Structure 1
Amino acid sequence: MATLKETAGRWGNMTVRYDGLTVEWLGYATARVAAVDGPTVYTDPGRYGVLDDYWTRDGDLVLVTHDHHYDPEGIRSVADPGATLVIYEAVDPDRIDRDVESVESLSDDYDVIRVDDEAEFEVELDDGTVTVWTVPTYNDPEGPRADADGTVPHPEGFGCGFLFSIGDRTAFWPGDGDALDGFAELDVDLFLANIGGGDIVSDRHESADLAEGMAPELVVPIHYDTFDALEADGEAFAGDVASRSIPAALDERSVNR
């Protein structure tokens, strides 16, 4: 059985410790997952002030799922000078309605890997090897976040989800979309659950159902409450998951609201 505990971490937040890993939610979609004496991985760093004054720059591997989470300033605030950035192939700074640095410019300073949504590869890092898999993630055009004509905020092909091996565990960050049925077939130890809901992504009920089907050893909810459209009850989600005999842990103190 996995063991976990929560202890006070840097910046005053609560750090979840789980079988040789530390897990911190830094706000919005940014999670820091680090192995003891091993690599440190960040998911979708930045936006909405969540990394203001955060310049740790200890990330060996940075994963970016789609345009909405592409924030070069956030990437630079977490990435080690020798970091590898894995960026979904459809991320297009020219299409983003913000003034952002190009991917080509980032590649001048970091190793950048562009991926589709069916990739599997190993990243050799100074602190160890991380295996990365990508999966399609999207809002179902016939699902609860679709308009009458099937228009959705995250259509198929717009973004991807990431699985990554770290330490002896595999973590899963699905990115933005619905809690797709196929996710339950993945072999996942740590599920970074997207619970913001609304008209954007899976809500806490859908992610709890997914967690039950997936049966990970630990669930940590992220991507909620950063702004009003993502308001969700993390404690209720954790209780719902725990009632299904799946350990859940909250890391809410670090969120910049």
Structure 2
Amino acid sequence: MSIEHEGLEVSWLGYATTRIQAPDGTVVYTDPGRYGTLEGTWSRQYGDAPHPSGEAYEARDGDIVVVTHDHHYDDDGIERVASEDATVVVYEAVSADRIGANGRDVVEPESLPYDVQRIGEGDEMTIDGVTVSAVPAYNHPDGPNAPGGEPIHPEGFGCGFVLTVDGVPCFWTGDSDVLEEHADLEVSLFLPSIASNFTMDRHGAADLAERLEPDLVLPIHYNTFPDLEADSKAFAGDVASRGVPVVLDER
């Protein structure tokens, strides 16, 4: 399924992977892959997932691919979505060595056969008419995603992105709690995580939606496996009750 917003065609493919297509055909992907998302196998791997697997996906039509942090970096996923002349924008702290030390075998982003650009928090670049801005994303040290005071996603570990596609600013939060740094962003399409662990939950995401007043909210990063379980219909009802348009892209 896909949704249309201000001329954009937007599809959530599971986990943190979203495809955004502009009217001129330019295609942007966020955080492709992991957990069988693009292989069509996550339900088989993780049981009867509330958001069931789709078919295996290998479009290779992406002009721009963005990666927020180590946990969402998947070189195979990138190769499934990126076109031959794609630009891959990777947060500056992503490290194949660190990922490998935690048990996943990946290559450094710069080894991929694309134009790979690193981006830091606060940086902005324009690629094929799309403005890519990296914004803060982290867990509060005193919050629920910091067991023993150690954030799962410490400050500087990853980022979120504001992707301005055909003049429409789309905000993907990355793996982040709600932050004061998000409050003043200009957002038309809001793509928050509503997972029950690791990030802002559906309640925090609804609060942020009310504060940002986007033209549309499309939640992602939930129900791929049990730790990400969320009641998306309750989230949609909460957001709608605050006068903010919301849609679900679920199979």
Normalization by structure 1: what TM-score? 0.88
Distance 1:84 1:105 in 2: 13
Aligned partner (choices 113, 117, 124) of residue 117 of structure 2:
113
One-letter amino acid of the structure 1 residue matched with residue 242 of structure 2: R
1:143, distance to aligned residue in structure 2 (A): 1.7
SS in 1 for 2:88: strand
Per-residue CA shift, 1:128-171, capped at 9, x if unaligned? x11111111100102222223x2011000100111011012000
What residue is the counterpart of 2:53 in the other structure? none
**Alpha-carbon contact 1:57-1:80 (below 8 Å) kept:** yes
Aligned residues: 232
- 5 Å-filtered alignment, 1:158-237, equals 158-198=157-197, 200-237=198-235
**Contact kept in structure 2, 1:181 and 1:210, CA below 8 Å:** no
5+ residue gaps, structure 1, are 1-13
Q: Deviations over 1:215-249 (max 9, x none)?
A: 00000000001110000011111111111111111
**Unpaired segments of 5 or more residues in structure 2?**
40-55
1:22 equivalent in alignment to 2:20: no
Quote the residue 1:10 is aligned against: none
1:134 counterpart residue number: 134
Could you give the per-residue CA deviations for residues 64-113 of structure 1, whole angstroms, max 9, x where no partner exists?
0000000000000000111000000100011112011221211xx21110
Tell me which stretches of 4 or more aligned residues in structure 1 moved more than 6 Å. none
Question: In 1, are the aligned partners of 2:126 and 2:132 still within 8 Å (CA)?
Answer: yes
How far apart in 2 are the matches of 1:111 and 1:146?
35
Query: Aligned with 2:219: secondary structure?
Result: strand
Q: In structure 1, what is the equivalent of residue 153 of structure 2?
A: 154
- 1:95-110 paired onto structure 2 within 5 Å: 95-96=98-99, 97-106=103-112, 109-110=113-114
Aligned to 1:7: none
Structure 2: how far apart are the matches of 1:168 and 1:88?
Answer: 23
1:60 equivalent to 2:63? Answer yes
CA distance in 1, matches of 2:234, 2:10: 20
Q: Is the 8 A contact 1:184 1:211 kept in 2?
A: no
Q: Distance in 1 between matches of 2:136 and 2:231?
A: 27
* Amino acid of the structure 2 residue aligned with 1:49: G
Task: Return the alpha-carbon distance in structure 2 between the equivalents of residues 138 and 197 of structure 1.
Answer: 16
Q: Which amino acid aligns with 2:160?
A: G
The answer as to whether partners of 1:21 and 1:35 remain within 8 angstroms in 2 is yes
Counterparts of residues 28-67 of structure 1 (less than 5 Å): 28-52=15-39, 53-67=56-70
2:144 matched residue in structure 1: 144
Q: How far, CA to CA, are the matches of 1:184 and 1:242 in structure 2?
A: 19
Mapped partners of 1:120, 1:174: distance in 2: 16
Q: Residue type matched to 1:154 in 2?
A: H
Q: What amino acid is the match of 2:219?
A: P
TM-score scaled by length of structure 2: 0.90
Deviation at 1:208, TM superposition (A): 0.2
